[in-house]
Structure 1
Amino acid sequence: MLYHLTLSADITIKSPSVRRHLGKILATNLRNALRRVEPGARVRAEWDQIWARLPDTLERHTLEQLEQCMARTPGIHLVARVERTSVSDLDDLTRQTVARWAPRIQGRQFRVSVRRRGRNDFSSTQAERHIGAALLAEVDDASVNLSHPQVDVRLRMEGDHLLHHVVEYPGVGGYPLGSQGQALVLMSGGYDSPVAAWKMMRRGIKCHFVLFRFAGEEQLQAVHRITHHLWQLHGSSHQVNFISVPFENIIDEIRQHVDEGLSGVVLKRMMIRAATRVAQRARVPALVTGEAIAQVSSQTLHNLALIDDASHLPILRPVLADNKQDIIDLARQIDTADLSASMPEYCGTVSRRPHIKANHHAVVEAEASLDIEALIKNAVDEAWSGKLGRQAPPVAKESLATVQLESLSPSSGQATTIIDVRSPDEAEARPLPEGHADILQIPFYELQTRANELSQERHYLLYCDQGTMSRLQALHLRDRGINNVAILAPVSS
């Protein structure tokens, strides 16, 4: 099967040398992406177009997958499956066109567009007028609209052959992936960061991905899954890295030493510092985030400026001015919405009174209580890195179980104690229901120093409102050889 691919307007407006260069990159990208699915795919670049040929024996689902792959490739304006027939003269061209297009224009406004390469006895304009008149004579209720047609009868002549557009798929436009440099995307797995990454990819930026992990194995696997899905659909022409940076210790330090109202901004600044270190090691010149103005307290314009101050690299925010619903709609369009919707909400820090206009001096003073250089160095040195599509993050042999409060009963015979790791104020404001198991109040910042008080004869369930800090503390206990721990799921108020 033969496909004709039209280049995006971003490419066609360039000078001849730049257009030729971008066309070659685009052809290589298409070849790489298609051959991941079908090794027999062939791609050929010409001056202002690209031709792709697929084996005629493909199964339907494979054919559809490859057609969507072409349509999703940045730099393409239109993908058309074409059929080639011989044409003897203008009358023969007209007969073939009327036979194919007359049923499609009934009751509709149409326009005939003819493009030719090679020598013919007629011009493109003559062909358009002749065919248009024949279609009007054949279809009584059709009419011509040259400016805004409902149906565009597009014909392409290659010498004495006519190429019929059998099926058309709109492309995403933009520039060929990799033609405009590289960037490192901070991935969370929600709606925003995959959409931000896709927007950069559509503009020709090759994107690598970094996750700051603070919620254990489940978070790592979930974010890797959505990142791989995004890459597989929209960026598989290139090999890119996925990096997982452990941030549990950093969050632990922030929760212990930083004022609650500043913790969100300080955490984001630490992420930016770590991302800068990762990017520099990979020689990547820019960072990308999914932040949007005022979406959360750390994303006010004032706080974003404080976050920017943590890195000398440019921080690009493709969805900065987008409405949340627009981001969700675009996530549906690029097919990441379902995975994003299933992502648990992992919050590294939660404040009841976050500062939406944090004071710069107060932030710097708060950070002075942290050993920033050591924390960042240790986190980045312990990072895991792998190629998407080739290497998956290691799966822990034993993951932390999550237990529902309703499943606990004092008569179950299991010696179970709930450890509430929230601060005393939080525990007093939202006490856990009693009667399910013994409850022990040990704030997260005291638990590790009191770990020797825990009995090996009992089973401990750690609890916090979001399930993040409890998981962090449980992992710390595991590291100390205390394995009889699990997580108590957040309790609805």
Structure 2
Amino acid sequence: MKYTEIMVRYGELSTKGKNRKDFIGRLAGNVTKVLREFPQVEIHPRHDRMHIVLNDAPFEEVDQRLKKVFGIQTYSPTIKVEKTLAEIEKTALALMKETFKKGMTFKVNTKRSDHQFLYDTNELNKMVGDYLFSHMDDLKVEMKHPDIVLRIEVRKDAVYISNQLLHGAGGMPVGTGGRAVMMLSGGIDSPVASYLALKRGVDIDMVHFYSPPYTTEKALNKAKELTGILANYAGKINFIAVPFAEIQETIKEKIPEGYLMTVQRRFMLQLADKIRAKRRGLAIFNGESVGQVASQTLESMAAINDVTTTPVIRPVATMDKTEIIKLAEEIGTFDLSIQPFEDCCTIFAPPRPKTKPKIEKAREFENRLDVDGLIERALAGIQVTSIYPNDKFLADKAEEDASLL
């Protein structure tokens, strides 16, 4: 069937009271961004639901993008027909024949906002049901838990018919939860933390530290491409690359081995906080999971957090690695995350880092350095890239093979 529009139902927005209008407006903007490849599509946000008029845009392709937009609870592809019984019956039959399989149960569910329409809901339910029984075999009605619900909505302008209820991503529209920065590495955890932040409506800028010549351009592009996957859930994400080599070289030269990692992470957090302030963010997110590595013990977190009073939010803090990997696979970041391009978190890694560093010691060692100068020079070298859904930065294997010929 050729669907004419998509009817979108809101999720948690129904609980937002006076802010509902703003939330719906933000959702409409996010939908517009993810469907920018289809300029013919019209988006009409209304109080109770959103109508997306396809205007011949392919539903299958629109569906792939729409299912990743946070703030959508469910949606249905629908067909708009004239307000005649013959058109309703003909379209209902075509939809049922396309989706019905032997052994399924169904029911007809009519809603009527146009009370001047010739038939009321019960009459239309019965007439359409009888028509389907007379033109199809093996039909069985089930009123409580049917496999298929044929939905008929009679409105002032037309009748809308659907028989699919597709589940959206849920959560809150990105942007309704405020702005923040995300400390994105090239690993498994921080992309999952990014996804969870976006799901709660937080509009995040990615902050990624890179250290040429110790890290390669491929490592940087890997982080950008991870951002491209996550942009499916946001429409667009700003990627902020922060040069970190000078800071790491200086720490390596002047800080005792056991505190290399602690002081390095303190610098990262200070830089992330200054970028957050400049971009008017309210919090810092990262991918830390309690006890997973030396820098993620509670003692280490306390010693690192000492450099800021800004809220540092860790969405995967209490998840184990298996849970994080499962979610990474579901959102499509896992295969890219495990590609072996070293990032700056792994270079200069000490063999025996302190797992219970002292805040006073960390401050003492850090004060040996020109902290302000190092941070100022790193901030002067940042590069900001706007990244859209599925933007590619790594050459695929075929392209790499061709370049070697």
- The TM-score, its normalising length taken from structure 2, stands at 0.82
Cα deviation code 1:329-373 (max 9, x no counterpart)? 222322222222224243034233232222222222222332222
* 1:142 aligned onto 2:143: no
Aligned match for 2:14, one of 12, 15, 21: 12
Cα deviation code 1:273-327 (max 9, x no counterpart)? 0111111122222111111122211112232232222212111111222232222
Query: Offset of 1:167 from its aligned partner?
Result: 5.7
Aligned counterparts, 1:155-234, within 5 A: 155-159=152-156, 161-165=158-162, 169-214=166-211, 215-231=215-231, 233-234=232-233
For 2:360, the aligned partner's letter is H
Residue 397 of structure 2 is matched in structure 1 by none
Query: Offset of 1:185 from its aligned partner?
Result: 0.9
Residue 323 of structure 2 is matched in structure 1 by 326
Residue 31 of structure 2 is matched in structure 1 by 30
For 1:256, the aligned partner's letter is E
Residue 78 of structure 2 is matched in structure 1 by 82
Distance 1:343 1:136 in 2: 59
Residue 286 of structure 1 is matched in structure 2 by 283
For 1:366, the aligned partner's letter is F
Aligned match for 2:256, one of 254, 259, 268: 259
**Is the contact made by 2:273 and 2:284 (CA closer than 8 Å) also made in structure 1?**
yes
Cα deviation code 1:87-145 (max 9, x no counterpart)? 445x9856754664376263234454433321235554665577668878966573525
Shift in CA distance, 64/190, structure 1 to aligned 2, threshold 3 Å: farther
Shift in CA distance, 99/10, structure 1 to aligned 2, threshold 3 Å: same
SS of residue in 2 equivalent to 1:44: strand
Residue 447 of structure 1 is matched in structure 2 by none
Distance 2:120 2:13 in 1: 27
Query: Offset of 1:183 from its aligned partner?
Result: 0.9
Residue 465 of structure 1 is matched in structure 2 by none
Cα deviation code 1:211-250 (max 9, x no counterpart)? 111214232222122223322x2222x5x43211111111
For 2:104, the aligned partner's letter is R
Residue 44 of structure 1 is matched in structure 2 by 44
For 2:359, the aligned partner's letter is H
For 2:13, the aligned partner's letter is I
| Unaligned segments of structure 2, at least 5 residues | 395-405
Aligned match for 1:101, one of 71, 96, 99: 96
**Is the contact made by 1:109 and 1:143 (CA closer than 8 Å) also made in structure 2?**
yes
Aligned length: 383
For 1:45, the aligned partner's letter is P
**Is the contact made by 1:7 and 1:75 (CA closer than 8 Å) also made in structure 2?**
no
SS of residue in 1 equivalent to 2:35: helix
Residue 293 of structure 2 is matched in structure 1 by 296
SS of residue in 2 equivalent to 1:72: coil
Root-mean-square deviation (CA), in Å?
3.2
For 2:7, the aligned partner's letter is L
Shift in CA distance, 96/321, structure 1 to aligned 2, threshold 3 Å: same
Distance 1:112 1:356 in 2: 63
Shift in CA distance, 154/251, structure 1 to aligned 2, threshold 3 Å: same
Shift in CA distance, 195/224, structure 1 to aligned 2, threshold 3 Å: same
Which has the greater radius of gyration? 1
**Is the contact made by 1:4 and 1:49 (CA closer than 8 Å) also made in structure 2?**
no
Residue 114 of structure 2 is matched in structure 1 by 118
SS of residue in 2 equivalent to 1:73: coil
**Is the contact made by 2:150 and 2:161 (CA closer than 8 Å) also made in structure 1?**
no
**Is the contact made by 1:84 and 1:161 (CA closer than 8 Å) also made in structure 2?**
yes
**Is the contact made by 1:111 and 1:145 (CA closer than 8 Å) also made in structure 2?**
yes
SS of residue in 2 equivalent to 1:144: coil
Shift in CA distance, 212/87, structure 1 to aligned 2, threshold 3 Å: same
| Greater Cα shift, 94-103 or 210-219 | 94-103
- The TM-score, its normalising length taken from structure 1, stands at 0.69
Query: Offset of 1:184 from its aligned partner?
Result: 0.7
Identity %: 27
SS of residue in 1 equivalent to 2:295: helix
Cα deviation code 1:404-441 (max 9, x no counterpart)? xxxxxxxxxxxxxxxxxxxxxxxxxxxxxxxxxxxxxx
For 2:296, the aligned partner's letter is Q
SS of residue in 2 equivalent to 1:265: helix
Shift in CA distance, 5/320, structure 1 to aligned 2, threshold 3 Å: farther
Cα deviation code 1:232-269 (max 9, x no counterpart)? x2222x5x432111111111122222232332222211
| Unaligned segments of structure 1, at least 5 residues | 396-493
Residue 417 of structure 1 is matched in structure 2 by none
* 1:247 aligned onto 2:253: no
Distance 2:126 2:364 in 1: 76
For 1:368, the aligned partner's letter is N
Distance 2:323 2:133 in 1: 42
Distance 1:340 1:114 in 2: 47
Cα deviation code 1:129-173 (max 9, x no counterpart)? 776688789665735251x44433333332484322266542112
Residue 373 of structure 1 is matched in structure 2 by 372
**Is the contact made by 2:5 and 2:80 (CA closer than 8 Å) also made in structure 1?**
no
